[in-house]
Chain A
Amino acid sequence: MNITKDLKKLVSKEEDINLKNKKTDILDSLDLTYSLQKEEYKYTPLLKIVDKKFDLLKENKDQISQKSYEEVAKFVNSKFYLISVDGYFKSELSNIPPKVKIKKYSELEREEKDTFENMYQKHDDSKSDFFSSLNSIIHEDCLTISVDSNTVLKEHITIININENYDVNNYRKMIFCDKGSEISIFERFINLKSDENFSSSVSEIYQAENSKLNYYSAQDFKENYHYNSINVFQKRDSVSNFFTMSFSGSIVRNNLNICLHDKSCYTNMYGFYAMNDKSLIDNHTSVDHVDENSLSNEHYKGIMGGRSNGVFNGKIFVRKKAQKTNAFQSNNNIILSDKSKVNTKPQLEIWADDVKCSHGCTVGQMDDDAIFYLMSRGISRKDSISLLLSAFSSEIIEKITDEKMKSLLTELIKKQLEKFNDE
């Protein structure tokens, strides 16, 4: 690979010795990582396209944001929010909640650094996904979020990442949820740049015993390219709930990797995507049951219109020690046009014997019987179809217990579904 040389240069400039070692390590396995792309990106030519269109290795400068704040204000719908521009966290634009420490990696005190050094690049996929490798090596300064033990934040924190000045932006964050803490995050990406761009975002999340995390994301990338990798490491009795909603983007690739490392961990992974035009949405998830008595529950649903493509790949690993595991997975798709396509694949590897596991995927069209039933009561075809599509999405929306988040996401979905009216 010709970029290895340039990456080496980047790594050699790294001043933090610890980071330098980690980056060197990633660099050393880059060939192997690269070779994995072929299978893991079978239907998603993201690398080929972004490599041709953009200079992936260009370094961004931390600029003072000119216009972001006002335009961003309309995306902020919570008291607390964290804003990053072009990959750099901007504390001056943010409103930081109490009992949550939010800093750039470079600003951490020695003892704070220990926590993050220990988790940094430990459980992410920088050795199995080439984009995460690139992000790990290139990104300048990681955002760190540390939630004190037993801190419970009722209201969600909005994380807003703004692409303002560059056509390639790398975001990186680590979240440390200490024992018994409970927080919710709503993450969004905004393009203030009119040209095409590529953004990559890698997150590492560590959940200590008894912690709880709700993580919502709404992805609306228009004509842009996006890579997102969220990696979660859960300790005993912790709970995570993910809601990943995707509405547009030339190519959007989401990796969600969850490691249920201890006994009695729970995770719910929900996703909803509604795509049209020529967009491509690829959700690759994995959940690793390491110890006894844990539960993973995954349900992704999608509506594909226009010439859109969908990819779903769900891996479930149940290790030998992970007896009494419950692991459920399903993926349901409605295809609205004969030019759209979905490739969906579950992948299960189970080494324990006392396990309850189920998986299923469906790809179908609108139910004609249901449309006729609604129309026979005087409802127009257009409204019958939107009733059915919003009903299809409601199964995911109903899983959101936070009323504010529920109505925010319902509204976003509604707007997106209206786009299907012309089909």
Chain B
Amino acid sequence: MLKIKNLHASVEDTKILKGLNLEVKSGEVHAIMGPNGSGKSTLASVIAGREDYDVTDGEINFQGTDLGELGPEERAREGIFLAFQYPVEIPGVSTTNFMKTAVNQIRESKGEKPLDAVAFLKLMKEKMKLVNIRQDLLSRSINDGFSGGEKKRNEIFQMAMLNPKLSILDETDSGLDIDALKIVSNGVNALKSKENATVVVTHYQRLLDYIVPDFVHVLIDGKIVKSGDKNLALELEEKGYDWIKPGN
């Protein structure tokens, strides 16, 4: 599904990703772990198509398409979803209106008719249940004045609404108490299928008790330096990152 080869990316001449390789197949859950500042969010943003980052070398291929020339909205329409580490607050636009615009633009790009008000409402109701989010929260401005947990639940709600093929969850666990963590993880697990894939970015092992990964990768200084199964996460939890030296 996703093939990243020798990816180099920089921002304002600072090199952040330095030759990163990753392959994700449908049905799989991958976890990317690594210390602060190692480039995890950068990787997530580059896959989603953020234009502030220059891809200086390598390529990202998604379902046979080179993403290189595609803008963020086209990638989303191809089925890529990024749950933001820091969801943006947008006063004056309600999540409901936001999602209606998004769902219908994605449908339009596929030559489908837009959802009418009734069908949209029905879809919303169904997905709201999944992450236990209230209607009044969605009528409010996007993330404006939301608690940390509400913001993260809103991200998973949006993911459920858009039904992506590849979801990248950037630190979706940070700032969540154990109950919220369970709600969010249950949501993600419920959306999992053989046809889609999930990449979980985190620096705590805790989340991986709930969203169990097939593969765990360690990202240090812009490169994946070690990969393994879920036991690698436990090992990292115990020993930290210092024992893994880039190049080992």
Contact = CB atoms under 8 A, between A and B. Distances in A.
Interface of A: 367-370, 372-381, 383-384, 387-388, 390-395
19 contacts: A368-B52, A370-B90, A372-B88, A373-B88, A374-B98, A375-B72, A375-B73, A376-B72, A376-B73, A378-B102, A379-B98, A379-B105, A380-B73, A381-B71, A381-B73, A388-B93, A390-B92, A391-B91, A393-B92
Contacts of B162: 377-378
Given A375-B72, A377-B99, 12 more contacts: A368-B52, A370-B88, A372-B88, A376-B81, A379-B101, A379-B102, A380-B105, A381-B71, A387-B93, A387-B97, A387-B98, A394-B92
A379 B49 CA distance: 13
B158 interface: yes
Nearest to A386: B101
A385 to B, nearest CB: 12
B106 interface: yes
A378 B106 contact: yes
A394 to B, nearest CB: 4
Interface string B170-189: 00000000000000000000
A38 to B, nearest CB: 39
Contacts of A387: 93, 97-98, 101
A260 B106 CA distance: 53
B220 interface: no
Interface in B79-125: 81-82, 84, 87-88, 90-93, 97-99, 101-103, 105-106, 109
A379 B73 contact: yes
A395 B91 contact: yes
B117 to A, nearest CB: 18
Nearest to B109: A378
Nearest to A387: B93
Residue among A376, A378, A384 having the largest count of chain B Cβ atoms under 10 Å? A378
Contacts of A395: 91-92
B43 to A, nearest CB: 14
Nearest to B75: A376
A370 B92 CA distance: 12
A368 B50 CA distance: 10
Contacts of A391: 90-93, 141
B48 interface: yes
A381 B73 CA distance: 8
A-B pairs with the 3 shortest C-beta distances?
A391-B92, A378-B76, A377-B102
B230 interface: no
A265 B88 CA distance: 39
Contacts of B93: 387-388, 391
Contacts of B101: 379, 383, 387
B77 interface: yes
A394 B90 CA distance: 12
A197 B88 CA distance: 46
Residue among A380, A394, A395 having the largest count of chain B Cβ atoms under 10 Å? A380
Contacts of A369: 88
A196 B25 CA distance: 66
A291 to B, nearest CB: 35
A377 B98 contact: yes
Contacts of A375: 49, 71-73, 76
Contacts of A392: 92
Residue among A374, A381, A387 having the largest count of chain B Cβ atoms under 10 Å? A374
Residue among A367, A374, A376, A390 having the largest count of chain B Cβ atoms under 10 Å? A376
Residue among A377, A379, A384, A392 having the largest count of chain B Cβ atoms under 10 Å? A377
A380 to B, nearest CB: 5
B120 to A, nearest CB: 15
Residue among B48, B88, B141 having the largest count of chain A Cβ atoms under 10 Å? B88
Contacts of A376: 48-49, 72-73, 75-76, 81-82, 84
Contact of A373 (B71, B90, B103, B105): B90
Interface string B42-82: 00000011111000000000000000000111011100011
A209 B42 CA distance: 62
A390 B91 CA distance: 10
Contacts of B82: 376
Contacts of A384: 73
A155 B30 CA distance: 62
Contacts of A378: 73, 76-77, 102-103, 105-106, 109, 162
A266 to B, nearest CB: 25
B162 to A, nearest CB: 6
A380 B71 CA distance: 9
Contact of B90 (A381, A383, A388): A388
Interface in B199-223: none
A368 B82 CA distance: 16
Contacts of B81: 376
Contacts of B109: 378
Contacts of B51: 372
Contacts of B106: 378
A303 to B, nearest CB: 13
A372 B105 contact: no
Given A377-B76, A378-B105, A387-B101, A372 B50 contact: yes
Contacts of A373: 84, 87-88, 90
B24 to A, nearest CB: 18
A379 B105 CA distance: 6
A369 B48 CA distance: 13
A393 B102 CA distance: 21
Nearest to A391: B92
Contact of A377 (B92, B141, B158): B158
A94 B227 CA distance: 80
Contacts of A393: 92
A384 B142 CA distance: 13
A375 B50 CA distance: 9
Contacts of B97: 387
Contacts of B91: 391, 395
A381 B97 CA distance: 16
